[in-house]
Structure 1
Amino acid sequence: MINKTATAHWSGGLKDGKGQISTESGALSTQPYGFNTRFEDKPGTNPEELIGAAHAGCFSMAFSMILGNYDAVADDIDTKATVGLEEKDGGFAITKIHLEMSAKIPGISESDFQEAANTAKENCPVSKVLAGAEITMDAKLIN
């Protein structure tokens, strides 16, 4: 089993508090987050964009692996994940994630491309852990 860690520190109340997020790798080190970065588009990060980054990255890697089943290798894969947070049942919930992917892959058919993309969407580890949300996708082959 592979274990990766991230830490969060929080001080104060919900609206006036401030937090910092760090990752084991150091890719994020005391990155600020708070109510204003989550709900008011202020500088800093928030849990939803971090989930989006994880999902986009995981999907892209899974897709590149699955392309091997089609004897294909991508020149480029670009994935954007939009994570939807909404009020639900007296609180908030992540209810939707939409993946937008475009890829340049020499020699692959559109049907094989779509099949590989859907397989990656269903089977990447982050998709599996986020299965409680509706995950949709638009996949575009650029050749």
Structure 2
Amino acid sequence: MDKITDILPHRYPFLMVDGIISKGEKEIVAFKNVSYNEPQFQGHFPDNPIMPGVLILEGMAQAAGLITLVPGKTPLFVGADKVRFRRPVRPGDRLIYEVKIVGEHLGMISAECVAKVDDKICATATLLLGMEK
């Protein structure tokens, strides 16, 4: 399988997917190893580091982008619905993204996403992605 950076245009510190566990035509399970040295933990929060929810959401969108790859086009995160954050993600956690494509219409893709740590749900969302032309 191609390296993540061969598929996604993101780079450190904004690359939120470290690897792919499994991938099908309409689903993917990917992961991010959350480490103490990531820049967001300097301010969120220094004495109680918690991964910002927006970065968890971005990680789910990046994982979805890995499914929807069209050669020469960049997957774009265009919307989010039903976003819920249920438990914190902390340095040292392995964040697992489970993403399933549930709809396609007019070049847009709808994906149901779940982010987990140790099989416990941390966040859920329905994301909308499009392709850059």
Could you say which TM-score interval applies, normalised by the shorter chain?
0.3 to 0.5
Larger Rg: 1
Structure 1 or 2: more strand by fraction: 2
- TM-score (ref. length: structure 2): 0.38
Structure 1 or 2: more helix by fraction: 1
- TM-score (ref. length: structure 1): 0.36
